[in-house]
Structure 1
Amino acid sequence: MKEEQTVCYTCPNENCFIKKHLHLEQMGQFILKKNSFVCKKTNQFITEDSPLQGLYFVCSGKVKTVKTGINGREQIVRLTTNGDTIGFRGFGTSKRYLIGAYALEDTVLCNFSNETMLEILQKVPEFTYALMLFYADELNKSENNIRKIAHMNVRERVIDLLLYIHRKFGQINGLIDIELSRKEIADFAGTTEEQAIRILSSLKKEGLIETVGKRIGILAIPELRTEIMEHKYF
């Protein structure tokens, strides 16, 4: 991993918790303590169950977070991009990361140590309140994902994933702006690689999506939304 200097005040990530609170005078002393570095594509920077080393914020790039399941198989639990926070589930009493994290492309990350984060939480109440709301929102998303897995069939889960990454990353030149292997799609949708390939092939034949290598483009968003409407997509 290569060290990289990033300046919070000129960072374009308006969704970053740190950037949102730079107007507070107390934050100035804390951003000087951060560590920024480049994590190359496919490299892992958080190992599941390893000791907590603070919170990570994505300055630029894309990251997948994974959780080990049955028979040691990793399942993707979250995809993150510019401004997102990583490692927050372990920040608390466990003192260990509950997930692993890999860069999906060359990614610039900012890390604030455990000690720095505790200082911020104790001295900047506005930041602490915002983080509490963030945890509540993430808990709600997790509960919704559990419900989806319980009630959606495999095709519906793949469609839900495609619509999610379309919302999260957008499309450039007709293709969603993230490159995921068929195995990664299967891991996120909670199915096998073979089933994921069959469903994507079927969606392509139906004219609902197109594929170019690992990239996927959505051609018919309303039709895909309709398929999962009963699961309250919105």
Structure 2
Amino acid sequence: MREDQANCISCTNENCFIKKHIHLEQMKIYIEKKRSFVCKKSQQFIIEGAPIQGLYFIYKGKVKTVKTGIHGREQIVRLTKNGDTVGFRGFGTSKRYLIGAYALEDTILCNFSNEDMLEILHTIPEFTFDLMLFYAEELNKSENNIRKIAQMNVRERVIDTLLYIHRKFGQANGVIELDLSRKEIADFAGTTDEQVIRVISSLKKEALIKTVGKKIGLVNVDKLKAEIREHK
């Protein structure tokens, strides 16, 4: 990573925790002390098991968060974009990261150190309250995902993954605005590359999706949603 300055004042990420509280006088001192970096595509900036180095906020770009599973295979547990928070799993309760994180494209990251984040939590109640609600929502999502994965078959898990990516990153020129390999889709859906390829081929034949090179576009979102409606 090379250092690069991301300006919080001109930042347009209204969903960013820092941006939401930038109007508070107490935040100014911490914003001045933050670090920002450019992380190149495919570069890892959080290593699972490494000492925690504060929280990261995505100024611009896309990131995948992973957890090592059985036989050392990485499971994608979260996909994030502009304004999202990365590295919060284990923060405050563990001295080491419980996840790893990679840039999915050239990404600008803002980092606030452990010391600064703990000071913010102790001195800025508005920030602490919002972060508490965020943790509660993320816990709820994780519990729902565990239930869904247990009940869905492979086709349903792949469809659910495609719908999530479509909802999270949007679609332009007929394709989802995120480059994911078939392996990465499998790592998120909890299945194998071969099964993902078979499901995608089947969905294409049914005219529910299309592919342009490695990119995927959802053609009939309503029909895809209908297939997994009972799991919602």
Instruction: Letter of the 2:102 partner, please give it.
Output: Y
Aligned to 2:40: 40
Instruction: Letter of the 1:50 partner, please give it.
Output: A
TM-score normalised to structure 2 length: 0.99
The gaps in structure 2 that reach 5 residues or longer are: none
Over 3 Å off, 4+ runs = none
Aligned to 2:125: 125
TM-superposed CA distance for 1:148, in Å, is 0.7
1:42-81 matched pairs, under 5 angstroms: 42-81=42-81
- Please state if 1:18 is matched with 2:18: yes
Give, in whole Å, the separation in 1 of the partners of 2:212 and 2:9.
Answer: 38
Per-residue CA shift, 1:40-90, capped at 9, x if unaligned? 000000000110000000000000010000000001000000000001012
TM-superposed CA distance for 1:219, in Å, is 0.3
The gaps in structure 1 that reach 5 residues or longer are: none
Give, in whole Å, the separation in 1 of the partners of 2:215 and 2:11.
Answer: 28
Partner SS, residue 77 of structure 1: strand
Give, in whole Å, the separation in 1 of the partners of 2:44 and 2:229.
Answer: 36
Alignment length (residue pairs) = 232
Give, in whole Å, the separation in 1 of the partners of 2:178 and 2:93.
Answer: 34
Aligned to 1:229: 229
Per-residue CA shift, 1:185-216, capped at 9, x if unaligned? 00100000000000001001100000112211
Partner SS, residue 168 of structure 1: helix
- Please state if 1:161 is matched with 2:161: yes
Instruction: Letter of the 1:22 partner, please give it.
Output: I
Q: CA RMSD in A?
A: 0.5
1:1-234 matched pairs, under 5 angstroms: 1-232=1-232
Partner SS, residue 42 of structure 2: coil
Give, in whole Å, the separation in 1 of the partners of 2:142 and 2:149.
Answer: 11
Give, in whole Å, the separation in 2 of the partners of 1:212 and 1:107.
Answer: 24
Partner SS, residue 90 of structure 1: coil
Give, in whole Å, the separation in 2 of the partners of 1:114 and 1:77.
Answer: 23
Per-residue CA shift, 1:2-27, capped at 9, x if unaligned? 11111101001111000000111111
Give, in whole Å, the separation in 2 of the partners of 1:151 and 1:166.
Answer: 22
TM-superposed CA distance for 1:93, in Å, is 2.1
Per-residue CA shift, 1:76-132, capped at 9, x if unaligned? 000000000001012112111000000000000000000000110011000000000
Instruction: Letter of the 2:189 partner, please give it.
Output: A
Partner SS, residue 83 of structure 1: coil
Give, in whole Å, the separation in 2 of the partners of 1:158 and 1:125.
Answer: 40
Over the matched positions of the two proteins, sequence identity in percent amounts to 76
Partner SS, residue 89 of structure 1: coil
Partner SS, residue 197 of structure 2: helix
Partner SS, residue 149 of structure 1: helix
Partner SS, residue 32 of structure 1: helix
